[in-house]
Structure 1
């Protein structure tokens, strides 16, 4: 059994910031992540190779310290008892003991169903970005990037850098909302710089505002997508090899819920409820980053530092970062308002459109049910390998449902890991 003063679950920006803050105060820190490298999704691959100097600095400090143990390719299954987590590696299972726990489990993409979204070649926006960072070949491929949020720009930049031809960026947010968001960037000058850099890297790429994907078409694989532009009666067809489509992010709150942490609704999403020092409703368990509400890397770093300092017993130091967190929370609020989903997205799925991809459950099978539990019992929606992580976000938008329980183990597990 490995023992840590502070155990951090998640090695993205929030997790690394928490680990670094706790380690600086003399704590023995463990960092668990299910990826082979630290960095999370935004710093995916290896923090040392990122253009963001904060990634390199955090990882350099952590990896050179004897007070930090990094446990890659390690999944949390469930809590055996308070202060103990059962985890699984590719070859074994183990029990980790902690005095304090920091959850920095990040977020996942929200995918919404439309006709043809299950065709090969249709992926999540961040999903295709992650594949490309892992070496998936996109040289010369035609890609439409669609959905909502600044992530689309980052995805398009990455894919273009890998040799893909970006046919268009299709953003569902309205032009007035985007203009208000752009004006609001005056309050965060660093984001203006970032936006200008992305704009320069995407020069010549059509940016279709107030537009959304109606359907994806192809004979066995994706060949084209149909786009609806607001105020334009004609449907536009774009030929492409890939459609990278994502409608924002959903906080990963399943582990927190399994540990008994209270959640709350924020911007139509379930988030982990925390106090001013990132402490959850369960004593000794903190949460930082996208799990408390989607807000970007700067907010995640601020929350991670607060959580790490508080978890290591230095609350006075932790409070010094509250002003910075407040600053970035205001940016997160502007982000949520600007990229709120338009109502038309709820009407795209036909009765034969699959909503639950694991169990092949269609919209027509679900829309007559009154809630998640009823649909789950009668159609098996949400009972496949992803345990509702994909279709749960879709059913929340389409029907207003929200999963009412978390099934253990939190991550897929070998039988031997559970019965050992």
Structure 2
């Protein structure tokens, strides 16, 4: 379709934040361009299966089915009416001088913008465990995507380990789908989980629903565990060795393992767009700076889990706020956003409660055995990281240049947080923030050289 005259606003990401941002922009009189890696809008949390998939939304999204369907229908209706431009199955791999480079099956295209809303979401936050580099060990998010998109359980006897709401949710989803879950191993002790109660009380019904899910797992669920090793053979995982809260050694046989400690924000594009960052102790990761509406600098706005990890409901609110800020800065009238600001503050209290209840186990990273693989892309162990610190200094980019940790296909998305803890501990910093953060660089996704030199379109 031909775009309407007026400011060109690009939204990157078509999850809850991106969909609500696009909806608000359309309501304000614009025709936004929405770029998304998925074939159909919905994001990871509300990922849609292929056309013709027979499982109903209730089976895919549980209690969130109505929200998921409403988002899907909203976006599809706007796209069908030509009120937005949708580029599916497209990855933004570079941003420079108010232009972004998007890669799709036809090659790459450069798209200019007057305003940019980044709704890039989040991904699994994974802690290395000895043996996790073996085939058959997945992120919790990957297991959930396979279940939603294809109705497939990645394993016949599965151990789920880590901490955070997704750990319980995925276990329940797998069991409802007929999967066999051998154990759910939560590294957060019960006493730690209780520390988040005041924050979790900001959404009592949501918290109660989580407790009911937890109760339904019965003896499968174990809190306060320590993960020792994933045993594997030529066929993949054979067992997880762990210690219970009393320190007793346990061995649970399995043929697949899912790991995840809540989420880490996807911030590479925010980095390329020139956003400033700050280390957030609550989430123990670097996050981009923005005001309450999502303004993050000249022409750039942030929304969703790529900005603050507030979950799907928070992403919807943040998407509307970012779009309102964008419209306001362009001189368009906007509705009163006071109610959304209050709701976002309440969701933020809840998210901080989740972070307090299910913390990132930084001390575990610092104490990983030397032989533990930390960077799976480049095959760098914890011991090699520590030796690099000894002669290279306690800064993660220096360690990367000397020892290659974080230099592989994922650009440190899986290893950076644990590596920073190891570097900080080895250098005696006391806090991972002192080790710095890996600098983002284009392309932020692996790209074929042929696709980069083949222009799909000149602009847009």
TM-score for both structures, normalised by structure 1: 0.92
- Unmatched segments (≥5 aa) in structure 1: none
Q: SS of the residue aligned with 1:223?
A: strand
Q: Deviations over 1:180-219 (max 9, x none)?
A: 435654331331353255346x344521011132110022
Alignment partner, residue 426 of structure 2: none
Distance in 2 between the 1:376 and 1:196 partners?
41
Distance in 2 between the 1:277 and 1:344 partners?
35
Which shifted more, 203-212 or 285-294? 203-212
- Unmatched segments (≥5 aa) in structure 2: 51-55, 424-431, 456-460
Distance in 2 between the 1:39 and 1:396 partners?
32
Q: 1:190 to 1:99 in 2, by over 3 A?
A: farther
Deviation at 1:305, TM superposition (A): 1.0
Distance in 2 between the 1:9 and 1:367 partners?
37
Cα RMSD for the two superposed structures: 2.4
Q: 1:385 to 1:189 in 2, by over 3 A?
A: same
Q: 1:59 aligns with which of 52, 66, 72?
A: 72
Q: 1:60 to 1:237 in 2, by over 3 A?
A: same
Distance in 2 between the 1:398 and 1:105 partners?
27
Alignment partner, residue 249 of structure 1: 263
Distance in 2 between the 1:29 and 1:306 partners?
15
Distance in 2 between the 1:137 and 1:25 partners?
41
Distance in 1 between the 2:49 and 2:279 partners?
33
| Number of residue pairs the alignment of both structures matches | 416
Q: 1:187 to 1:81 in 2, by over 3 A?
A: closer
Contact 2:107 2:452 in 1 (8 A): no
Which shifted more, 308-317 or 65-74? 308-317
Distance in 2 between the 1:46 and 1:136 partners?
9
Q: SS of the residue aligned with 1:44?
A: coil
Work out whether 1:382 is the aligned partner of 2:406.
yes
Alignment partner, residue 38 of structure 1: 41
Distance in 1 between the 2:49 and 2:149 partners?
11
Alignment partner, residue 226 of structure 2: 212
Deviation at 1:46, TM superposition (A): 5.2
Work out whether 1:14 is the aligned partner of 2:17.
yes
Q: 1:116 to 1:30 in 2, by over 3 A?
A: same
Alignment partner, residue 325 of structure 2: 310
TM-score for both structures, normalised by structure 2: 0.84
Deviation at 1:320, TM superposition (A): 4.0
Distance in 2 between the 1:38 and 1:100 partners?
21
Deviation at 1:105, TM superposition (A): 0.6
Distance in 2 between the 1:255 and 1:108 partners?
14
Q: 1:25 aligns with which of 24, 28, 49?
A: 28
Q: 2:354 aligns with which of 327, 331, 335?
A: 335
Distance in 2 between the 1:416 and 1:207 partners?
48
Q: 2:183 aligns with which of 164, 168, 175?
A: 168
Q: SS of the residue aligned with 1:327?
A: helix
Q: 1:156 aligns with which of 159, 171, 184?
A: 171
Deviation at 1:415, TM superposition (A): 2.1
